Amino acid sequence: MNNPFKILFLLIFILVNHLAWSQENFREISLVTNVFEALKEQNEDKLLKCLPSKEDIAYIIPVLREAQPNSVIPEIDKIIANFKMAATKNFKHIITRGNSFNITWENMVLEKVEYEANHDPNVQIERGNITLVCTSGDKKFLIVLKKSYKIHDTWLLMDRMKFTLL
């Protein structure tokens, strides 16, 4: 009778240990490092590297069509152009908003990165909000990468960013 409890305890220990070690380190993903460097250098070209490619869009279109069969999905080139235009506009807005609070971007420090799953039950692609907790001098602020998608094992910026001063 004592033996089954030991086996059960061992299985639970292995499962918990596996889950703890197998979680993704969001601080190290390219999306986080590219966004952080783009903000720090105020370089929108670095931010544009975080957007989906033609192949990424081509992969996600059938998934979206299956989830929403009646929706009208534009051509891939139009989608990419819209992403670039929206990301550039949002990036400039984030920089301007940070400047209004006297954020010194080049002195920005990444304190930690948090992930909050934000799954769409109709779309079977991992997505969530990735939050960069940053400081610059005595100012602490958040940069939230809204609805970031993981496509082909790479996290991509698929929606806007949000700046929040703490």
Q: Where are the domains of the chain?
A: 26-165
Can you give the pLDDT of all 166 residues of the chain as single tens digits? Answer: 456 655 655 556 555 544 444 456 888 888 999 999 999 999 999 999 999 999 999 998 888 888 888 888 889 999 999 999 999 999 999 999 999 999 999 999 999 999 998 888 877 888 899 999 999 989 999 999 998 999 888 899 888 999 999 8
Residue ranges of alpha helices (H) inside 2-153 are: 2-22, 30-41, 44-48, 54-67, 76-100
Residue 120, helix vs strand vs coil: coil
β-pairing, 109-117 vs 127-136, is antiparallel
> Taking the model in full, what pTM does it have?
0.79
Dihedral pair phi/psi, residue 23, rounded to 5°: -70, 145
